[in-house]
A and B are shown apart, each in its own frame.
Chain A
Amino acid sequence: MRYLLGLIIGAATLWLLLSGVYKPIVLGLGGFSVLFCAYVCHRMGIVDRESVPLHLLARVPLYALWLGGEIAKSNWDVAKRIVLPGRRISPTIVRLRAHQSSELGQAIFANSITLTPGTVTVALRSGDAIVHAITEDNATDMEGGDMDQRVRRLERPFGAPARREASE
């Protein structure tokens, strides 16, 4: 129920910000389309913890801030390697273990890797991410597991204690 409510509130906010026309008839149409979409999603049985990840909401801003910093750093790094003369790359492929407990968490992890320039998740199979990195250093950084750890903290349910699992 709370996921359905979350979906309705989210869709209504999106509609209000995108529309900008607040006449009664347009508002009515907007309300109808929001409710109709929520109804269709409900009937399809796709309104759940995965599609409406309310539990992430509070922690996402901090993670986004950190990821933004990582993106800035690696953009600068890759841009330098492109512009400066000579071959400054050492393409490397590594296999990383995605320790996230949910598929959503693993998807966030894989997407974060890809979003950061210099590393791309080529495949994600049974909890293992195959990552192509533009330099060996990038690959080694990824093997450090900082991002993996942060995404694991991000997906942790509220109130759950911070646990540090030993990486295999």
Chain B
Amino acid sequence: MNALIDTASWILLAGGALFSVIGGIGMLRMPDFYTRMHAASVTDTAGMILMLAGLMLQAGLTLVTAKLVFVMLFLLITSPTATHALARAALEDGIEPQVDHDKR
């Protein structure tokens, strides 16, 4: 049972690491500011959720897991808020998105 949980935890941690790296690659590959933000949000969501889930399995049913749940909840609320603030600041500062279709 322990080995099973350990394995699941390592798979989650490795998956989280993989998605974080993919987000990083995306930040380099994407052409402009706004598309780079989409790449960053892969790290923000999949990377973060998988890693925290892996850590929760390591911690088991303890207060540490409760804290990890809080960390996840707060990040899920604050990271889109920060992303939005960044995007809006960029737009107001005159960084025009390079888009194929503008249906504003």
Known: A91-B97, A134-B38. A17 touches B67 (CB 8 A): yes
Q: Of B22, B49, B88, B91, which one neighbours A79 at CB under 8 angstroms? A: B22
* A42 adjacent to chain B (CB < 8 Å): no
Residue-wise interface mask of B (66-104) relative to A, using a CB-CB cutoff of 8 A (1 in contact, 0 not)? 110010000011011101100110010000011111111
A93 touches B104 (CB 8 A): yes
Considering the complex, give the chain B residue whose CB is closest to the CB of A138: B38
Q: Of B30, B37, B45, B70, which one neighbours A71 at CB under 8 angstroms? A: B45
In the complex, what's the smallest C-beta–C-beta distance from B96 to chain A, in angstroms? Answer: 10
Considering the complex, give the chain A residue whose CB is closest to the CB of B103: A94
* A149 adjacent to chain B (CB < 8 Å): no
B41 touches A122 (CB 8 A): no
* B25 adjacent to chain A (CB < 8 Å): yes
Q: Which residues of A contact B23 (CB under 8 A)?
A: 82
In the complex, chain A residues 117-140 whose Cβ is within 8 Å of any chain B Cβ: 117-123, 130, 132, 134, 136, 139
Q: Which residues of A contact B83 (CB under 8 A)?
A: 114, 120
Which of A71, A79, A119, A120 has the most C-beta atoms of chain B within 10 angstroms of its own C-beta? A120
